[in-house]
Structure 1
Amino acid sequence: MEKNIPTLEDLARLDREDPLNWTRDEFEMPTIKACGGEGEGEAIYFCGNSLGLLNKRARQHILEELDVWSTSTVTGHFKHPHNRPWKHVDAPLTPHLAKIIGAKEEEVAHSSTLTSNIHNLFMSFYRPTEKRWKIVIEKGSFPSDWYAIHSHPKLHDKVLSQEQIDNAVIGLSPREGEETLRTEDILKVLEDNKDTIAIVWLPLVQYYTGQLFDIATIAPKAHEIGALIGLDMAHGIGNVETKLNEWDVDFAVWCTYKYLNAGPAAIGGYYIKTRLDDGGRRLAGWWGNDAATRFQMSPDFQPTPGAKGYQHSCTPVLSSIPLLATLELIDKVGFPNMVAKGRQLTGTLATLLQASRYYVDAKDDQSRVGFKILTPDAPYRGTQISIAITPEGKGTMPRVFSRMIQRGVVGDERQPSVIRLSPVVLYNKFEEVGKTVQTLELALKEEEEWQKNGGDVDVKDHDIISKE
């Protein structure tokens, strides 16, 4: 049976009936012109998987902190007119974070940035031996993860031979002709290397394809073979249902500037399972010292129990406090309600994309102007659908992307051919989903015309499109 294809009128009705439609007013919406387009009004912002929008209360919080800095100066660390003393600026954040990732509060720390936290945790929990030293990671992982993971075996050259260092990383790749990893293939790699794997490192949601990994199945297998499992949750936190304790994940890291809207390069965080033992290996810093004795400046390090004992320096206030606005909003809305709406938003986008005449499936001519969908079907995705513009590798995608920007649709481009579209629950509408697909189709239609003219005639009203 064919799916019912919603019209713009249907989508507008969904917006009116949406119990979460009020949350959009909590954010400052960018304009078309400010995003580089032409025309008046608000842009359609489908790029929350890269940088979330500014929460109005976050602006208020930042201005309040500047006022405290201006008037209270150093005493703001201890006495704060808004009950957010800088000394404990992470205190109102970690309970909310623990709740949305399915963890205990003592297992969560708000500290540093994602890659720094990867290094911090790997220093403690990657303890290779001559027999068990390998790390499993997907070959298509975000470059920072790939670089960071490859650096750690080299730090153990007193234990590992050069041959072991050179072969320490097991890279996971999809099957030929496929875009995403199959769970059964991951499990097979773990079984085939069960005596040599030390850590399995995976994303919760893959940044490029938008694939949501089946961690509930993979984690038990990692433990069965005697390995630890860690997660990069940059694209998962605040986006998909997460149950770190229930899944029995050992450790994880995240950033907060995507679905949590904490601002550019905002402070990240990490999770460490309560039972996890670092074997006496820890990069200590004074902010990891027990808060009760921290300011006594003792020469003896007495770590705070739990994840906070792995913190290094005091928490930056101005890049942390905007996070509070989104976390309080999520608590008010109810994260399960957000997950449900996210599935509906993304499902609507997928339905409209698959109904487009420009949709290219495996049986179609891959050389025609159109798009393929890289992201798996539900439930193995969050609020992101990645499309590969065809024909690939001919500069088609940048031209299509530019035309979309010109008309006020802001997605995210990844060379050479991918556009990522992320309808975010807290501020995007169903009607915007429909308009985005319409804009994509118009951009592709213009690309068809452009290519038919041999690339030597500009498409109307798009002077920025190159003529190469």
Structure 2
Amino acid sequence: MNFENTLSFAQAQDEADQLRHFRSDFLFPNHNGKDFIYLCGNSLGLQPKVAHQVLERQLNNWANYAVEGWFDGNEPWMFYHKELKKLMAPIVGALPAEVCPMNTLTVNLHLLMVSFYQPKGKRFKIIMEGGAFPSDQYAIESQVRFHGFDPKEAIIEVFPREGEEILRTDDIVAQIKDNAGEIALVLFGGINYYTGQWYDMEAITKAGHEIGAVVGWDLAHAAGNVPVKLHDWGVDFACWCSYKYQNSGPGGISGIFVHEKHFNNTGLNRFAGWWGYQESNRFKMEKGFVPEAGADGWQVSCTQVMPMALYHASLQIFERAGFIESLRSKSITLTQYLEFVINEVNINLDFEQYKIITPNNPKDRGAQLSIIAQRNGKQIFDGLMANHVLGDWREPDVIRLSPVPLYNSYEDVYMAGQVLLQVSKDVLT
């Protein structure tokens, strides 16, 4: 597509956009009577308008049924998670039995590592990307310490080459092969939170399996953003939060994936809880943990009804919109337009004030662009906020902007570019 940095072009693209009506399903933050241009879905998705309705429905169930709400009503809480499983599975390329909504992301990462990080002899190391989100770093560090290892010896971090911002797949694969006899677990984030790089999950998973390691993924920035095929790629396990691209609200319910090839593996450790017990016999209250079939067997605590209701509401919007095909197609074009607009800002400034460090190939990124501001970055970010453009800031010099295809428009992107240009001129001259 030949882009134009004009309002008329942006509006024409919006008029032709078959997904444009989904924008009206969301609430935009407002200050002094003016909506923000919201480009921060990579951190927290917008609130669906139906959120109040779904919460009220569950509150009414609580009021009308009390404890019997677990078994009575149109959506008995005992089985409510099963409604979500059917909608979650396509988003991560899984079978419904392989996914389950439960807990929060880092809790799930720990629970899954109990099962899938099993160091033995010389094979005790975990390989991950350098500069992963701190939650992943802390979780992995504490897990290796729990097993009696020194993180400096047990964790292999792969960093970009000197002078580069993103990781090369060949370098990741080479590191896996070079440490083949020592790696127990390959555990990466699907998309790096800082650079926005979408790693080649299929190639990395294959490389990990070829050396006999287990492979897991943290999909915090990938689930609901890019198309992944966890089942087909043979990924062993994964987990994700749902409050970013999947709009389930702050601290929203997490999701897990466990490949069906592990369902009957009795050699896997797990931290058991009542809700993971075999559903048909759960209320017999018997000793001796017998897990429910599939990913549900990794549940510990009972269904978190209110967070699940919010997630359910958003998942139904995804189903109507057509994830993955329709949303991914718009996401690619919308992000390309943002890239074009940022480059136009540089042209108007007569120097490269903004360097996009996110890969420019759509197969290597999702909806997020991470932009280094060469000068006065924080001041410019604050100027964007003051002019109703909301992205987010990452030290020391990165502005992250994420046009989400469910609710962002081409006009949003164009107007954000105009504000960025004006703020830059005000700050830099």
Sort the TM-score into its range (normalised by shorter chain): over 0.9
1:50, 1:246 → 2: CA distance? 28
Q: Does the aligned pair in 2 maintain the 1:358–1:441 contact within 8 Å? A: no
Aligned match for 2:332, one of 340, 343, 352: 343
2:293, 2:305 → 1: CA distance? 23
Q: Does the aligned pair in 2 maintain the 1:210–1:382 contact within 8 Å? A: yes
Q: Tell me which residue corresponds to 1:229.
A: 215
Q: Tell me which residue corresponds to 2:256.
A: 270
Q: Which secondary structure state, in structure 2, belongs to the residue aligned with residue 425 of structure 1?
A: coil
AA matched with 1:441: L
Displacement of 1:131 after TM fit?
1.4
Q: Tell me which residue corresponds to 1:67.
A: 60
Aligned match for 1:205, one of 169, 179, 191: 191
Q: Does the aligned pair in 2 maintain the 1:31–1:43 contact within 8 Å? A: yes
Superposed structure 1 runs of 4+ greater than 2 Å apart: 2-6, 355-360
Determine which structure has the larger helix proportion and give its number. 2
Q: Tell me which residue corresponds to 2:359.
A: 376
Aligned match for 1:400, one of 380, 390, 393: 380
Displacement of 1:67 after TM fit?
1.8
Aligned match for 1:318, one of 286, 306, 322: 306
Q: Tell me which residue corresponds to 2:36.
A: 43
Q: Does the aligned pair in 1 maintain the 2:357–2:372 contact within 8 Å? A: yes
Displacement of 1:358 after TM fit?
6.0
Q: Does 1:424 align with 2:424?
A: no
1:166, 1:177 → 2: CA distance? 24
Distance 1:278 1:406, change over 3 A: farther
After superposition, give the CA deviation of every residue in 1:113-151 in whole Å (9 maximum; x if it has no partner): 110111101111111012111100111100000010111
Displacement of 1:204 after TM fit?
1.0
User: How many residues are treated as equivalent by the alignment?
Assistant: 425
2:4, 2:407 → 1: CA distance? 23
Q: Tell me which residue corresponds to 1:309.
A: 297
Q: Does the aligned pair in 2 maintain the 1:359–1:371 contact within 8 Å? A: no
**1:102-141 correspondence to structure 2 within 5 Å:** 102-141=93-132
1:118, 1:326 → 2: CA distance? 23
1:278, 1:397 → 2: CA distance? 53
Q: Does the aligned pair in 1 maintain the 2:3–2:337 contact within 8 Å? A: no
Q: Which runs of 5+ in 2 are unaligned?
A: none
2:368, 2:11 → 1: CA distance? 21
Displacement of 1:332 after TM fit?
1.4
Q: Does 1:300 align with 2:288?
A: yes
Q: Tell me which residue corresponds to 2:50.
A: 57
AA matched with 1:403: G
Aligned match for 1:96, one of 65, 87, 112: 87
After superposition, give the CA deviation of every residue in 1:240-272 in whole Å (9 maximum; x if it has no partner): 011111211111010010111100101101101
Q: TM-score scaled to structure 2, two decimals?
A: 0.96
Q: Which secondary structure state, in structure 1, belongs to the residue aligned with residue 206 of structure 2?
A: helix
Q: Which secondary structure state, in structure 2, belongs to the residue aligned with residue 301 of structure 1?
A: coil
AA matched with 2:359: P
Q: Tell me which residue corresponds to 2:203.
A: 217
2:347, 2:99 → 1: CA distance? 45
Distance 1:278 1:187, change over 3 A: farther
Q: Tell me which residue corresponds to 1:444.
A: 424
Q: Tell me which residue corresponds to 1:152.
A: 143
Distance 1:182 1:359, change over 3 A: farther
AA matched with 1:389: A
Q: Does the aligned pair in 1 maintain the 2:278–2:291 contact within 8 Å? A: yes
Q: Which runs of 5+ in 1 are unaligned?
A: 34-39, 450-468
After superposition, give the CA deviation of every residue in 1:164-206 in whole Å (9 maximum; x if it has no partner): x540000110011111101011011011111111111111111
Displacement of 1:448 after TM fit?
0.7
Q: Does the aligned pair in 1 maintain the 2:5–2:344 contact within 8 Å? A: no
Q: TM-score scaled to structure 1, two decimals?
A: 0.88
Displacement of 1:318 after TM fit?
1.2
Distance 1:86 1:4, change over 3 A: closer
AA matched with 1:169: I
1:188, 1:250 → 2: CA distance? 21
2:351, 2:147 → 1: CA distance? 50
Q: Does 1:260 align with 2:241?
A: no
After superposition, give the CA deviation of every residue in 1:356-399 in whole Å (9 maximum; x if it has no partner): 22699xxx978xxx2211100122100010111113xxxx2221
Q: Percent identity?
A: 41
Q: Tell me which residue corresponds to 2:23.
A: 24
After superposition, give the CA deviation of every residue in 1:313-360 in whole Å (9 maximum; x if it has no partner): 002111110111111111112111011111111011111112222699
Aligned match for 1:191, one of 177, 181, 198: 177
Displacement of 1:14 after TM fit?
0.6
